[in-house]
Amino acid sequence: MAAELTTDRSVLYLYGITESRPRDLPELVGVDRFAPIESIDCDGVFCWISRVPALDFEKNLARNMENLDWLAETSVAHQRVISAIARHTDILPTRFGAVFRTEESLCKHIAKRVRGLKKDFGRIKGADEWGVKVFAIQPAIPTISKVRSGKDYLKAKAALLPHRRRKPAARDEMLKFERALAGVATETASAGNMSRGQRGLAFQTSLLVRRSKRNKLESLLEKFAREWAQDHRIECTGPWPPYSFVSRPENKVRSK
């Protein structure tokens, strides 16, 4: 049976893994906004951790994640640490909430995965993640203003009739766009179920793009944005650490 958790017990919160330990990395503070970021050498790779209260990040993590204010602040702190390290070296980011009870359990976990991690480092080297979305532009709905004559009424009524608009990007055009993105990216990742709350969302994907190809990506997006200006809006976010391109099992608390 696991020992009863106490308020002074800490666990290791894992942010990500790198192949090198940058010398010029500034001092960073972790998700609890108090504990400093440390690196632990595990089988020749470096795990970036901070020591956080077990009560908040192990025992009560699920409950805390239902608190949207806590979740927002803590997830931003998580991303801030990863982004700071990514500015100095390539990093394999860990999903939010990955904790280990001891350095020994962390290093055992890494030892089992080190070969796969080495392959991942080769895949993400010199690359960033970019998110691309395409939204259909909704036509404005005209209204009938106050009219003073029959002629004005007919004109206003005509304004309510559907106008001939440029035909929205057909399926084959969207496939052409998708193939063009894949030609620039090293890898692509499916975004899964589209965000139902985002009105007009027609397409989305995540791209792993070498930094040397950033200008090519931007030129490609500008080209399609011009062609689809009347019908679709392209939204691009990034660069990000490669969250969507890390091969890993589900993160769970490691005991012992």
The yes-or-no verdict on residue 220 having pLDDT over 60 is yes
pTM of the complete model = 0.76
pLDDT tens track for 1-18: 333 444 568 999 999 999
Residues 6+ apart with CB under 8 A from 201: 133, 134, 135, 194, 195
pLDDT value of position 174: 87
What are the residue boundaries of the structural domains of the chain, listed by start?
10-125, 127-243
pLDDT tens track for 118-150: 999 999 999 999 999 999 887 655 555 565 665
Place 49 in a pLDDT band, splitting at 50, 70 and 90.
very high
Please give the share of the chain, as a percent, with pLDDT higher than 90: 61
What is the sign, positive or negative, of the torsion defined by CA atoms of 21, 106, 92, 59?
negative
d(CA 34, CA 81): 13
d(CA 98, CA 174): 37
More confident site: 255 or 22: 22
Neighbours of 183 (CB within 10 A): 10
Angstrom distances, CA of residue 147 to CA of 143, 144, 160, 183: 12, 8, 14, 55
Name the nearest CA neighbour of 109 among 241, 242, 14, 5. 14
pLDDT tens track for 173-197: 889 999 999 999 999 987 655 555 5
Average model confidence (pLDDT) across the chain: 84
Q: Give exposure, 106-127, as e/b (b: 16+ Cβ within 10 Å).
A: bbebbeebeeebeebbebbeeb
Lowest mean pLDDT among 24-38, 56-70, 188-202: 188-202
pLDDT value of position 190: 78
pLDDT tens track for 82-114: 999 999 999 999 999 999 999 999 999 999 988
Cα–chain center distance at 239: 10
Q: What's the mean pLDDT in 56-67?
A: 92
Lowest mean pLDDT among 72-76, 170-174, 230-234: 170-174
pLDDT value of position 8: 65
The arrangement of secondary structure in 127-243, i.e. its CATH architecture, is 2-Layer Sandwich (3.30)
